[in-house]
Structure 1
Amino acid sequence: MQRNQTKSQTMWSRSLPGVAAAVVFFLSTMALPAAAAVVEHTFVVSQMNMTHMCKEMLVTVVNGQLPGPTIEVTEGDSVAVHVVNKSPYNITIHWHGVKQRRNCWADGVPMITQRPILPNHNFTYRFNITGQEGTLWWHAHVSYLRGTLHGAFIIRPRHGSSPYPFPKPHREIPIIIGEWWAMDLTKAERDLTYYLADDDPSASTINGKLGDLYNCSGVAEDGYVLDVEPGKTYLLRVINAALFSEYYLKIAGHKFTVVAADANYVSPYTTDVIAIAPGETLDALVVADVAPGRYYMVASPNQAPKPDPQHPVFVTRATVQYNNKHNHSNNGDVPVAPEMPYQHDTMTSFYFHSNLTGLRHSQRPPVPAQVDERLFITLGLGSVCRKGDSCVRGDSNDSITVATMNNVSFQLPAATTPLLEAHYYNTSSMDDMLQELPGRPPMAFNFTDRALIPTGPKELRLEPTSKATVARRFRHGAVVEVVFQSTALWQSDSNPMHMHGHDMFVLARGLGNYDAARDVDRYNLVDPPLKNTVLTPRVGWVAVRFVADNPGVWFVHCHFDFHLTMGMAAVFIVEDGPTQDTSLPPPPTDYLTCGHNLVPDEFYLRSTKTEVPDKSGV
């Protein structure tokens, strides 16, 4: 399929002249690389009091910071992060988007790849950064606690004095969109798990600050301020660390030129609005080229319209403030505000993600042409009975709402051994613990029928589901194509699907039901973007392709934390290849063992306070 030059490429050539020469230089010249380094950090996980909107909350943070510390490395470096758990919760840290080549042991998913770090225990994550550059992030992988345990992970190129395939920016600034919860995050998760309540955050944040739309007894909250100099170019490394919402981001009077997504370069795309879902990262250039003054940077969540359940929409804003050495802008001026998309406008997100294409260069892997295995995975809600196999469903208290992939809701097995360890040692219990993730849903229906959203006759026959530890095995090197199909069962949310250990080529997306006879012809096999988190559009689908070449046990899940908590997850197991270099090595010598950890109970992943039993005999 031949692709024409995109509109975004044309807009880029007008907005930043000389970029073509910069790209040619980037692709054709490389300076001698600097020596690789070992980058070490110590993460002390503890609790501290923070006050917002006149309410003091005990918050779990790393090193007393929210967001947590930024890790900055150069491609080729090694990383060692010493985690000291002084919190009352079991903790793991996931390095979101780091591929962990042949090092699944450091991926940081409790009871999938490791036992969690108990209160008053330590653990060191060690891994290499090879073949990646751009913006990623780290976060706790104990569900809701990632709302306060997160930070940026920045990988800079090793080559050349002009390291980027775009003009070198004057400054690089992480912009982390998050949420402020005026309640205990572990309680919010328990409420959702047992369908006791549907809690909401109290505010949105940019770089941990609520902004002046929120106040305490009439005094406005502090907002993040970005000082810029006229004429300078800034690289914003945007991360959505929120638990619940996709966000639109705008700066009044300014445009973004998106140059990377999920630590993969994209063809420069110029736009006045960014759409970013939980788990995604975007790198965008902003030129300070308008009249000096003060301008609001606004982050606003979107949500599906009724009859979907409606939640409060919390908008936050920072300030972009022009300064120079001789003339400071008037800080008393009221900043200019942008016009934001409507909260129920999900088409802006659809078009934004559809307009991203991969930047073609010599280091980019080709799109695999032949497919070895195809999966069609529906994403939706369902219910299981609280007791027994038969119950009243719908709005009844006899059943619990769960989230599913192909009508199965993920649950951990009742075992003391992480799945990765059982897989590596080929324990006989491995097959007993797992159920194969179906390659298709058990029943075909009109997946995007809006009549399925309210409880009623249509929905009731499709609601029953099951819980299991679902997994899918792939031989090493297999090319796998997955179509994720969002459904309208009880809600019509989009679904940001994150895959650990691999990047995915995003071949196409569409609205309505996927139809292979029609939609395969739309696949972009020339320059699709590479992503680790792919937004499946509301009542729509997305087709991805990846090479299963990283041996290990990898989690695949929705990055809306309410969906993850409810079970929208599965495990992809990639088998060893034929050589030592294509096989998973043994666990590190300091790998957490049974003697240092709890036997899992029903709240093992729920981050609840637990008493540590005597397991000296394990």
Structure 2
Amino acid sequence: MYCQSQPAAQAATMALAVFVFFLVSIVLPLAEAASIEHVFIVNQMKMTCLCKETVVTLVNGQLPGPTIEITEGDSVTVHVVNRSPYNITIHWHGVKQFQNCWVDGVPMITQCPITPNKNFTYQFNVVGQEGTLWWHAHVPGLRATLHGAFIIRPRHGADSYPFPKPHKEIPVIIGDWWEKDLAEMAMNMTKNIFSAYASASTVNGLVGDYFNCSGVAKEGFVLDVEPGKTYLLQIINAGLFSEFYLKIAGHKFTVVAADANYVNPFTTDVIAIAPGETVDAMLIADAPPGRYYMVALPNQAPLPDVQTPEYATRGMVKYKGEHKKEEGHRGTSSDVPIGPKMPDVHDTITSFYFHGNLTSLHHKGHLLAQQRVDEHLFRVLGLGTICKQGQFCKRGNSSDDIQVATMNNVSFQQPTAMTMPLLEAQYYHISLNSTAQELPKRPPILFNFTDEALIPFGPKEMLLEPTYKATLVRRFKHGAMVEIVFQSTTMLQGDSNPMHLHGHNMMVVAQGLGNYDPVKDVPSYNLVNPVVKNTVLVPNRGWIAIRFVANNPGVWFMHCHYEFHLVMGMVAVFIVENGPTIDTSLPPPPDNFPTCGSKINPTPKEFYLQSKKSET
């Protein structure tokens, strides 16, 4: 492997971690549910990569972390043992957690974090979902190394796929390699310090031969294939900062699913995938036997946007028997793998069309999209500034302010002063902290959201910079049909925004470039077969319209999956109220639910019972 790991101070612990990691399946008749169990030991290890030793935080000493493979209908138990120096939670990205918001894994939103030397067991069922999802730490910065695939197979086996049964299924996780302290990097972003960037991009934890140290090219991911066979690539973008283009020279993909929802298959030679998204794509080994580069290229907004270091990486598709050819023909031109022609690094239109090609395979299930809309929200995404001291300060390129990310000109304030998560406060009817504010339905000021003149500091953007921080909350009646239009802006940047909603899927009814115009754009909505996603990419200098049914009671995170936008405050909390029955209401927290703060303080349940007693 290109990166070799060494035990840190906890050598014995990590040996135990690798040993105790296990998968238990209770043998039941075909099509019945099983119980899947894992142990995740979170620890720090030293890894040597690119000729430098770096301390990283891992699950069971693996990068990427363990793959969880289940069948639809299974129950999942994951025991998380935190032997790292950080507070940890694990989010099961895309798993709906119906009536089980308690294990969604967002610190101080759904649970108190798992503190160092403590543990917590996540237990949940996975019903009505098939395909590729993933899990990751919901801790600023740390999901770069704390992540893994979460694969849900059909209850009746691979023969029930709505596409030809593949010869093999292969997770392909695109990520980053950081030579920095990730927790410190995330903390610096809250202070307006942007001095750390990834040193490389990775495919399944390998940096690939674009990178070398001591004059030796580094190992890359190799996919061995047999001529004529079909492979299902389960592609995940676990990177912190970048959307990626993925291509394989001499081959095309057939896209069959996105975010664990089947799509009408379409053929393409390039896959565009933003942080948080997953794409299932069929690859047929139909090229002349040989070696073909697989390249993952991060894209970024064109000038005048700020340009940051972005590194492509590559692995290889190698046909069976090709190793014999290499031994017999070393040094000849036939040994050189074929490389794909990649899009330009500033090409954003390829991503726009790729995402626009996604439509749902199952039409009948999306008659929901045609229902009456109960709530309309228009959410403008951008950057702004707050003063370091007081309400008034110099704006523009000033040292008096701090840059933040916003929704409708408000930046999210993490409720760190609370002694309980927002979910418990909601469940036990305890008032939220004083910074809580209802998320505005629309921005306070309407302007030309995609005006290029707003990207650099100047008189235009300085008028729009001032903002403030609050714990943004939006409450929905159970069963409400909600429409949200997300509008990207050019406020201090012109980037895209991958927006992720916990606990629900979203139907993408439209997307467009420029400013959203309801008169012109609503008639073009796709209410027949809109693609269903848990993470939607708001285009660079464009907009996207989604609908979802608020039918999962609890407190759910909605945020941008670019780490810098998340840390800087492009976040809101959605509260879905209980329905009229037990089956539509959130049950009480599990018995092992972690508590925050001192043990001498009452738990939320005790607080609730005491308040009820005092009322009587």
Are 2:307 and 1:330 aligned? no
User: Which residue of the partner structure matches residue 612 of structure 2?
Assistant: none
Task: Determine which of 193, 197, 201 is the counterpart of 1:200.
Answer: 197
Backbone CA RMSD of aligned residues: 1.6
Contact 1:211 1:317 in 2 (8 A): yes
TM-score between both structures, scaled by the size of structure 2: 0.90
| SS of structure 2 residue aligned to 1:330 | helix
| Pairs within 5 Å for 1:215-226 | 215-226=212-223
User: Which residue of the partner structure matches residue 50 of structure 1?
Assistant: 47
| SS of structure 2 residue aligned to 1:563 | helix
User: Which residue of the partner structure matches residue 575 of structure 1?
Assistant: 577
Cα distance change on mapping 1:258 and 1:90 into 2, 3 Å: same
| SS of structure 2 residue aligned to 1:444 | coil
| Pairs within 5 Å for 1:379-458 | 379-413=381-415, 414-427=417-430, 429-430=431-432, 432-458=434-460
2 CA distance for matches of 1:363 and 1:47?
45
Q: Could you list the per-position Cα deviations for residues 188-236 of structure 1 after superposition, in whole angstroms to 9, with x for gaps in the alignment?
A: 1122110123321000000000000101110111111100000000000
Pairwise CA distance, 1:431: 6.8
Cα distance change on mapping 1:540 and 1:598 into 2, 3 Å: farther
The 4+ residue runs of structure 1 with deviation greater than 6 A are 596-599
Are 2:497 and 1:495 aligned? yes
1 CA distance for matches of 2:490 and 2:202?
30
User: Which residue of the partner structure matches residue 286 of structure 1?
Assistant: 283
2 CA distance for matches of 1:48 and 1:90?
17
| Pairs within 5 Å for 1:219-298 | 219-298=216-295
Q: Could you list the per-position Cα deviations for residues 555-606 of structure 1 after superposition, in whole angstroms to 9, with x for gaps in the alignment?
A: 000000000000000000000000000000000000011357999xxxxxxx
Q: Could you list the per-position Cα deviations for residues 232-275 of structure 1 after superposition, in whole angstroms to 9, with x for gaps in the alignment?
A: 00000000000000000000000000000000000001000000
Are 2:311 and 1:314 aligned? yes
Pairwise CA distance, 1:33: 5.1
Task: Determine which of 183, 188, 192 is the counterpart of 1:191.
Answer: 188
The number of aligned residues is: 566
User: Which residue of the partner structure matches residue 522 of structure 1?
Assistant: 524
User: Which residue of the partner structure matches residue 209 of structure 2?
Assistant: 212
Cα distance change on mapping 1:312 and 1:433 into 2, 3 Å: closer
Contact 2:366 2:528 in 1 (8 A): no
Task: Determine which of 481, 486, 490 is the counterpart of 2:488.
Answer: 486
User: Which residue of the partner structure matches residue 89 of structure 1?
Assistant: 86
| SS of structure 2 residue aligned to 1:390 | coil
Pairwise CA distance, 1:512: 0.3
| SS of structure 2 residue aligned to 1:222 | coil
Contact 1:132 1:263 in 2 (8 A): yes
Cα distance change on mapping 1:426 and 1:220 into 2, 3 Å: same
Contact 2:487 2:544 in 1 (8 A): yes
Task: Determine which of 112, 115, 118 is the counterpart of 1:115.
Answer: 112
1 CA distance for matches of 2:484 and 2:156?
34
| SS of structure 2 residue aligned to 1:101 | coil
Pairwise CA distance, 1:360: 2.0
| SS of structure 1 residue aligned to 2:279 | strand
2 CA distance for matches of 1:579 and 1:82?
31
1 CA distance for matches of 2:31 and 2:194?
54
Task: Determine which of 574, 585, 588 is the counterpart of 1:586.
Answer: 588
Contact 1:100 1:127 in 2 (8 A): yes
Contact 1:116 1:597 in 2 (8 A): no
Q: Could you list the per-position Cα deviations for residues 330-383 of structure 1 after superposition, in whole angstroms to 9, with x for gaps in the alignment?
A: 375121000000000000000100011110256666424210000000000000
Pairwise CA distance, 1:327: 8.2
Task: Give the % identical residues.
Answer: 67
Are 2:156 and 1:159 aligned? yes
Relative to structure 2, which stretch is displaced further, 37-46 or 412-421? 412-421
Cα distance change on mapping 1:578 and 1:52 into 2, 3 Å: same
2 CA distance for matches of 1:498 and 1:48?
30
AA in 2 matched with 1:296: Y
AA in 1 matched with 2:268: T
User: Which residue of the partner structure matches residue 475 of structure 2?
Assistant: 473
Cα distance change on mapping 1:161 and 1:391 into 2, 3 Å: closer
Pairwise CA distance, 1:391: 0.7
Contact 2:418 2:433 in 1 (8 A): no
2 CA distance for matches of 1:305 and 1:431?
41
AA in 1 matched with 2:70: V
2 CA distance for matches of 1:144 and 1:532?
21
1 CA distance for matches of 2:317 and 2:600?
48
Cα distance change on mapping 1:343 and 1:598 into 2, 3 Å: farther
2 CA distance for matches of 1:75 and 1:569?
30
Contact 1:294 1:329 in 2 (8 A): no
Q: Which has the higher contact order (CA 8 A, sep 6+)?
A: 1
2 CA distance for matches of 1:173 and 1:38?
23
2 CA distance for matches of 1:260 and 1:583?
31
Q: Could you list the per-position Cα deviations for residues 105-137 of structure 1 after superposition, in whole angstroms to 9, with x for gaps in the alignment?
A: 000000000000001001000000000000000
User: Which residue of the partner structure matches residue 179 of structure 2?
Assistant: 182
2 CA distance for matches of 1:455 and 1:120?
46
Structure 1: gaps spanning 5 or more residues:
1-31, 600-618
AA in 2 matched with 1:347: I
Contact 2:66 2:148 in 1 (8 A): yes
2 CA distance for matches of 1:33 and 1:450?
58
Contact 2:245 2:272 in 1 (8 A): yes
Structure 2: gaps spanning 5 or more residues:
1-28, 602-616
AA in 1 matched with 2:218: E
1 CA distance for matches of 2:599 and 2:275?
30
Pairwise CA distance, 1:163: 1.8
User: Which residue of the partner structure matches residue 551 of structure 1?
Assistant: 553
TM-score between both structures, scaled by the size of structure 1: 0.90
Pairwise CA distance, 1:322: 0.1
Contact 1:391 1:399 in 2 (8 A): yes
| SS of structure 1 residue aligned to 2:142 | helix
| SS of structure 1 residue aligned to 2:516 | coil
